[in-house]
Amino acid sequence: MERYEADTTISYPCVGAAGKTGGWRDFKPVIDQSNCIKCLRCWAYCPEGAVLRGEDDSVSIDYDYCKGCGICARECPKKAITMERED
């Protein structure tokens, strides 16, 4: 990838280009794995790519970048994700 000698603010694609945005969160999604049916809706809907997909299609949350928007909890058909207030 070419790096520009820019005098303005340029950012290059990488994990966490804008820093660890998990600190913005008021509520965090918590997955009840026993209820998860691996439908991957949370993974597909997450606007930040903060739902991680495992080899076996199990899901987990990347709390370094999850901003706590709650879309995953809203979309989960099994209500297996709950939003819990951060400490």
Partner 1 sequence: MTTMFDVGNKVAAKAVQLCRPEVIAAYPITPQTVIVEELARMVQAGELSAEYLCVESEHSVMAATCAAASMGVRTFTATSSQGLAFMHEMLHWASLSRLPIVMINVNRALGPGWSIWVDETDSMSQRDTGWIQIYCSTAQEIFDTVIQAFKLAEHRDVQLPVMINYSAFTISHTMMPADILSQEDVDAFLPAFEAYWRLDWRNPVTFGNVISDEYAMEKRYTMYRGMEAAKQLIPEIAREYEQTFGRYHGGLIEEYRLDDAEYVLLAMAAIGSEAKVAVDNLRDKGYKVGLGRMRVIRPFPDEELRRIGKGRTLIALDRNISVGSGGVVYHETRSAVLGVEGCKVYGYLAGIGGRDVTYEDIEGMALKVINGEADPDVVGWWDLKDTGGK
Instruction: Name every residue whose Cβ is closer than 8 Å to that of residue 59 and which is 6 or more positions away in sequence.
Output: 31, 36, 38, 40, 42, 43, 51, 52, 53
Among positions 1, 34, 55, 85, the unique one binding partner 1 when judged by CB under 8 A: 1
Residue 6 found at the interface with partner 1 (CB under 8 A): yes
The 8-class DSSP code of residue 35 comes to T
Query: Residue 12 or 55: which CB sits closer to partner 1?
Result: 12
Among positions 15, 18, 34, 47, the unique one binding partner 1 when judged by CB under 8 A: 18
Residue 14 found at the interface with partner 1 (CB under 8 A): no
d(CA 37, CA 59): 10
Residue 15 found at the interface with partner 1 (CB under 8 A): no
